[in-house]
Structure 1
Amino acid sequence: MNGMEAKNETLLSVKDLRTWFELKKWGFIHAGFVRAVDGVSFDLKEGEALTIVGESGSGKTTLIRTILGLVPPTEGEIIFTGERFDGQKRRDRAKSLSRLRSQVGFVQQDPYGALPPFMTVRRILQEPLAINRVGKEEQEERIREVLEEVRLLPVEDFLPKFPHMLSGGQQQRLVIARAMILRPKLIVADEPVSMLDASVRVEILELMRKIQKDHNLGVIYITHDLSTVRYFSER
């Protein structure tokens, strides 16, 4: 471990996390639970990448949805940047989740489905900034900055385009740009290249890896494809 790594603090801590779903009851008969996530624990440091590998139905996506606050945990602790947000009162939990989501970027599996079809590239990137009350001038600076970073160039050509006007690889670059627009500390990528042509998969993975290193981001990379693990294979 070098000096820079030694200074990196724990970004996300998950302790004995369980997310169970109750099966449909038959009359008074309790049918039990589906244990989608059962006793998961890990720590993720700043700048570190964690790969979660598993087949469909193994609970990968439920784990991420629980960490992001989209699904309530049955048991366990989720601590992000030192703040615990599981098991809180509804009002406190809502505030914590709002802070969490402003610091976590999410890269979805299906780029076309993840992008609002009737919004331009500019509007897609502008919306989260406006919600978080970023000033107009800074909005413009950040939009151009992230488009340059994900290599959607020339920027002026892409700003007025709609998602259907982009290729699959360009759509995923836009999804990554949106994930980065609030300057997060953590990126969660759920099968980010599984729906892309083989010819662009490596480009997207290399881009994500470069962004991670440039910004010292924590990354949770979810996949079923072992051939892509080496891009985010710290553990």
Structure 2
Amino acid sequence: MAEQAPLLRVEGLSRSYALPRQSLFRAPPRLQALQDIAFQIEAGQCLGVIGESGSGKSTLARAVLALDRPQRRHDAGRVLLKGQDLQALDAKALRRARQDMQMVFQDPYASLDPRMSIGRIVAEPLAALHGGLGPRGRHERVRDSLEAVGLRAADMNRYPHEFSGGQRQRIAIARALVSRPKLIVADEPVSALDVSIQAQVLNLMQELARQYGLAYLLISHDLAVVDHLADQVLVLYQGRIVERGTPAQVFGAPEHPYTRRLVAAMP
């Protein structure tokens, strides 16, 4: 019997970006944002990626979600979701693949359109990914997603300004959950929240992972957040993976000097 492929596999991923041209007679210099990144995430697993600003975390998130197209001359590697190379898919096939992955952004204030009701905000992914559900099916899916994150069906008719920061992030999680993805990319999901609210949202994410079999790619600069949620940890430094292991291994006995500095600065 063939071994089942991991939910997400990243192989030899390298990404670079052109910097402003310094001479008319030379090609513009390039910033190597990621270099030879490789990892995998199994179904239901949380992989935490930590690193300072500029380490390549956001570039990695965009690559995993196939939001950027690699340049053949400068970039390399593959991102495979359930065995499918996302960069090799045409637009229609990529839309189908995106049913299995969603994103939760850092700022719950900026990521929700203030002119839209909560019901419309949460239903947004269904319009693109599940057009065959019909109005009743979409309504039931939105209701179930709101209730799963601790909100009420009646909240569908309210607007973002009527909610606190923690509640807004719950709405953002409900929007990610509504298409029933297999993978959620969470980019600094609690960094904009009060410390008293952060643990509540992280506990909610843990419960949803158990309930729906979700896997997370958790991107954060906060070691305590990653320690709380992650099964495995990658440490990114200047676009490279410099350390990997369980939270106990990475935080308890760091080997790379950069990781040791991060752990030493951890409250």
TM-score clears 0.5: yes
2:188 maps to what in 1? Answer: 191
So what's the TM-score if we normalise by structure 2? Answer: 0.80
1:141 maps to what in 2? Answer: 140
What runs of 5+ residues in structure 2 fail to find an aligned partner?
A: 233-267
1:128 maps to what in 2? Answer: 125
2:76 maps to what in 1? Answer: 75
1:17 maps to what in 2? Answer: 13
Q: Percent identity?
A: 39
Structure 1: distance between partners of 2:7 and 2:85: 12
1:64 maps to what in 2? Answer: 61
Residues 209, 231 of structure 1: 8 Å contact kept: no
Structure 2: distance between partners of 1:222 and 1:162: 28
Question: What count of residue pairs does the alignment treat as equivalent?
Answer: 223
Among candidates 212, 215, 228, match of residue 215 of structure 1: 212
Structure 2: distance between partners of 1:128 and 1:72: 22
So what's the TM-score if we normalise by structure 1? Answer: 0.90
Structure 2: distance between partners of 1:28 and 1:42: 39
Structure 2: distance between partners of 1:109 and 1:101: 20
Partner SS state of residue 159, structure 1: helix
Residues 19, 72 of structure 1: 8 Å contact kept: no
1:59-208 alignment, distance < 5 Å: 59-73=56-70, 74-86=75-87, 88=88, 92-131=89-128, 132-133=130-131, 134-153=133-152, 155-156=153-154, 158-208=155-205
Residues 124, 175 of structure 2: 8 Å contact kept: no
Residues 8, 47 of structure 1: 8 Å contact kept: no
Once the two structures are TM-superposed, the CA of residue 213 in structure 1 deviates from its matched residue by: 1.4
Instruction: Quickly say closer, same or farther: Cα 1:109–1:119, change in 2 above 3 A.
Output: same
The alignment's C-alpha RMSD in Å is 1.5
Structure 1 segments (4+ residues) deviating >3 Å: none
Structure 1: distance between partners of 2:18 and 2:184: 30
Once the two structures are TM-superposed, the CA of residue 9 in structure 1 deviates from its matched residue by: 4.7
